[in-house]
Structure 1
């Protein structure tokens, strides 16, 4: 407690704390709190007051992280050691209440009222409750780094009579309390929370790792997209495991206690890059990535016959042991790009199915959003070497797939699934000959996104519908325009860019046979991915093939040839 209060009353990590002072608290804390700006000594004294009940009664508050314990046991750590390592003293409860930067500032008096109501909602200090209150304090010390007005609340997890505060499921209860207070005090209501469309947020440590490595997104975001792509493209659980492992993801099953043939959950991690040194992999359970990526949710879309379940156990076991896959399946097939037209036809039927879903059937719309998101994720995995428009579309659609487990929708019998399109996209080799198929595919995906946006608007979630419409109008329309701008190769009409001087004087032409598969894939990837930043140094272009230099054709002749 002392460490927390001293930090809140101190200068902060970057001297960002300004005028730290108490705005509210338990009655005994408000009575003892200093008036005006707090000093270091004030903070130490205040922490002692907050900690009084715990010290007097000697109450111990220990919490065991089952996830951490189970992960350690899976790694071979003895159960007693894993239990001890996963158990920690948590007698201090800390949270912050923050506004959006555009909401401006509240007065100390308004913050005091909000803080008191919040702690009542959280059952720390409720005059109408038979339980004894717990001591707490609300400290205000300026704005967040993003510019949002906020307060911090530090509370004891021990009540005045020595009993413990029930902090089980406190994150969910805190979100519900915030929603209540937003309506009560006329604050901006977070629609993603109210509509239960919020995805899993990134923790500061995750964002810090990404920033230090100069990565455009966190490892959690990468894993969510890869898991979603693999899950949507797979027809069986065994295929899902193999796809994940083939995409550079470490996979670890969670077996039911006392069994070696019943998998009830899984965890994934990105494989540490070589050269990073002894960096431990950061593991996430499927449900920690997204609510619709738990194993029970994913199984509702797969073939779960007895034979396939046995195959899945074999693949999970091999993954846990770090051994090669037991068998191969559709994930090992390289498909003809002509099949992309078939994927577009599947999505056309998928869009016909979307028109049959009632606006009030939120569970089916959530499933539809999750499956459509999976197709975008599969496509992104194939052609985007860094998060671009396809990854962005996948992330936005995934927000609508976040429903509690008891509200999930069953897979309708006899209805075409978007999974077939995802499978084809992942199996096809990107190339210039796939451009027409990609255009057809994108048009159907844009229609699906528009349908989900319309359903969201009709259901009363105009803010989220607007976000999806922006995805279609701007991000995906830009991709469509760029794809249509690609000239399909002919025997003497595939150009490779040279230096600026070469382009000004001549253009080097290559026949279709001379353009390698890798170069074709690179051309399409350049169209699909966002342009590199200006700070990214360009690599010198090299060629091992002889060039045939042709005079540059007059513009009029080229226009006539292209039919423009």
Structure 2
């Protein structure tokens, strides 16, 4: 699984997005009484109003299952969501688990995997604020444990995948080249950005969480040179050389 966390101040905006009709949204779990956008917004706001000094009580967790996991049953999605939320310390908090269909008009391509959204109120039912310090790091560790407990596909941690997102300009250039190729405006297939090729290779080489020696050996077999770098401050980084281009 791959996890992502967002936080904000507007429960209404979050529920309007999560329960949009064009996303095939379904509430599959949680402890909230409401079922509609207005009901859930009011319910979560009433609880958050107990502690108005917290200006951003909204937590939005996204869990994406690996394509190899196939269609995941609702009861397993609910169980995993509940366990993740509680292990992060949101025990006495409102939360709702929402499933979205794979065909999502809000994205350029349909998902090839199941994914769920979890809306959580940072303010507990008795008006306390949950300490969310290092939630991102802890969330990833919890996900790794849940994968093993529920016999799901093991996904390499983000620090091992070393993902580097494409810039907006790179994405738009690739899309334009793809459209031109599909409509016959250009005869050559579009160039896949080097970062996409490298990311795919790193994902494949780190899928089973190998040792660094094995990880580097696998990349070298794919024609990628790996060079560990230690900065003057002692920070460790890795540089990759693929198709005569460096990536850090």
Do both share a fold (TM > 0.5)?
A: yes
- Could you report, residue by residue, the CA deviation over 1:519-539 in whole angstroms, capped at 9, with x for unpaired residues? xxxxxxxxx669xxxxxxxxx
- Greater relative contact order, per chain length (Cα 8 Å cut-off, separation 6+): 2
Q: Aligned equivalents of 2:160 and 2:131: distance in 1? A: 27
Show the 5 A alignment for 1:346-425: 387=194, 392=198, 396=202
**Bigger share in helix:** 1
- Could you report, residue by residue, the CA deviation over 1:308-335 in whole angstroms, capped at 9, with x for unpaired residues? xxxxxxxxxxxxxxxxxxxxxxxxxxxx
Does structure 2 retain, via aligned residues, the 8 Å contact 1:59–1:158? no
Give the secondary-structure state (helix, strand or coil) at the position aligned to 2:113. Answer: coil
Partner of 2:61: 95
Taking structure 1 as the reference length, the TM-score comes to 0.30
Q: Aligned equivalents of 1:183 and 1:23: distance in 2? A: 23
Partner of 1:70: none
Q: Aligned equivalents of 2:211 and 2:115: distance in 1? A: 24
Q: CA RMSD in A?
A: 3.4
| Superposition deviation, residue 474 in structure 1 | 4.0
Which moved further from structure 2: 93-102 or 183-192? Answer: 183-192
| Runs (5+) with no aligned partner, structure 1 | 35-41, 62-88, 126-132, 216-385, 400-452, 478-527, 531-564
Asked if residue 111 in structure 1 is aligned to residue 77 in structure 2, the reply is yes
Show the 5 A alignment for 1:448-459: none
Partner of 1:150: 115
Taking structure 2 as the reference length, the TM-score comes to 0.65
Q: Aligned equivalents of 2:63 and 2:45: distance in 1? A: 22
| Superposition deviation, residue 476 in structure 1 | 5.6
Give the secondary-structure state (helix, strand or coil) at the position aligned to 2:223. Answer: helix
CA radius of gyration, larger in: 1
| Superposition deviation, residue 112 in structure 1 | 1.2
Partner of 2:27: 22
Partner of 1:182: 147
Give the secondary-structure state (helix, strand or coil) at the position aligned to 1:191. Answer: coil
**Bigger share in strand:** 2
Alpha-carbon distance change, 464 to 101 in structure 1, aligned in 2, over 3 angstroms: farther
Partner of 1:332: none
Which one of the candidate residues 96, 102, 124 is aligned to 2:90? 124
| Superposition deviation, residue 111 in structure 1 | 1.1
Q: Aligned equivalents of 1:54 and 1:9: distance in 2? A: 20
| Runs (5+) with no aligned partner, structure 2 | 1-10, 105-109, 176-192, 226-242
Asked if residue 211 in structure 1 is aligned to residue 171 in structure 2, the reply is yes
Q: Aligned equivalents of 1:109 and 1:387: distance in 2? A: 40
| Superposition deviation, residue 5 in structure 1 | 0.7
| Superposition deviation, residue 187 in structure 1 | 0.8
